[in-house]
Structure 1
Amino acid sequence: MTLDQLLAILACALLAVLAVFQSALIAGAPLGHLAWGGQHRVLPPKLRIGSAVSIALYALFAYTALAKADLVPALVNRGFTSVAIWVLTAYFALGVLMNGISRSKAERLLMTPTTLVLAGLYLVLAL
């Protein structure tokens, strides 16, 4: 197993944990203080839709990491996948900033390091 493959698998595992978390939010679990700015203990319908969209995006992000590591066939050319990995690295870096300034202390403490790890994994994949 190559380093890229290991990193892609780790990124997918972390994204899967986030997907389970978002699923719990959709189901009405009182974990809203950990997401979406932490202003709601139980998410309102619009934010639950946002959580569903997040799950779909996580799947796309995971696929991109797996394609970059040659663990799944790329649906587009390798150049596009390389650019997409850089875009996702920037997305997660922005997530570090956004989670770091959240009004919710719990969100800052949990999601900032989570997005930092994802940013790091995608950065190494990009390199």
Structure 2
Amino acid sequence: MSQTLALTYAGLAALPVTMHLAIVAGAPLGRFTVGGRFPNRLPPRWRGLAAVQAALLVLMALAALSRAHVALDPLKILFWPAVAVTALSLLANAASPSRPERLLWTPVLALMVLAALGVGLL
């Protein structure tokens, strides 16, 4: 069961990873991130931060997979910090001034938090 939940977490994490990589490539998706501050393309510095966010999300997904014994075991130490970051991201997205960001990422992050808690507690 925890392996299924970890795979669910990783699959859901792939959604914002994909968006952040598209932003890095210059896609006009700014309304879905950073509170909609930049409604179209993000400036270069912010696109660099999107690359960092994508890498962090991949690491968090690997931590969940590690906790469920699906991926590299040494990363399981990062599992609970990953859960905390996911929960904080949920709160930030739920409070975002950008309606598209709230509507898209709040449900995704809520499901990620639930999946992560299942991995950690089962």
Normalised by the length of structure 1, the TM-score is: 0.87
Paired position in structure 2 for 1:36? 34
State how far apart, in whole Å, the 1-side matches of 2:15 and 2:105 are: 12
| Unpaired runs of at least 5, structure 2 | none
Q: How does 1:88-127 map to 2 (within 5 A)?
A: 88-127=82-121
After superposition, residues 21-100 of structure 1 pair within 5 angstroms as 21-40=19-38, 41-75=40-74, 81=76, 84-100=78-94
> How far off its partner does 1:125 sit?
1.0
Matched residue SS, 2:105: helix
SS in 2 for 1:125: helix
Runs of 4 or more off by more than 3 Å in structure 1? none
Superposed CA offset, 1:22-52 (max 9, x none)? 1111111111100111111111111101110
What is the DSSP-based 3-state SS (H/G/I as helix, E as strand, rest coil) of the residue aligned with 2:26?
coil
Contact 1:22 1:52 survives alignment (8 Å): yes
Kindly indicate whether the alpha-carbon contact (under 8 Å) linking 1:36 and 1:47 is maintained by their aligned counterparts in 2: no
Segments of structure 1 that go 5 or more residues without pairing to the other structure are none
* Paired positions, count: 120
How much has 1:112 moved relative to structure 2?
1.2
The answer to whether the 8 A contact 1:101-1:108 is kept is yes
Superposition deviation, residue 72 in structure 1: 2.1
Question: What amino acid does structure 2 have at the position aligned with 1:10?
Answer: T
Identity %: 36
Structure showing greater radius of gyration is 1
Aligned-residue Cα RMSD (Å) equals 1.4
Q: TM-score, normalised by structure 2?
A: 0.90
Indicate conservation of the 8 Å contact 1:92/1:118, yes or no: yes
How far, CA to CA, are the matches of 1:72 and 1:91 in structure 2?
A: 20
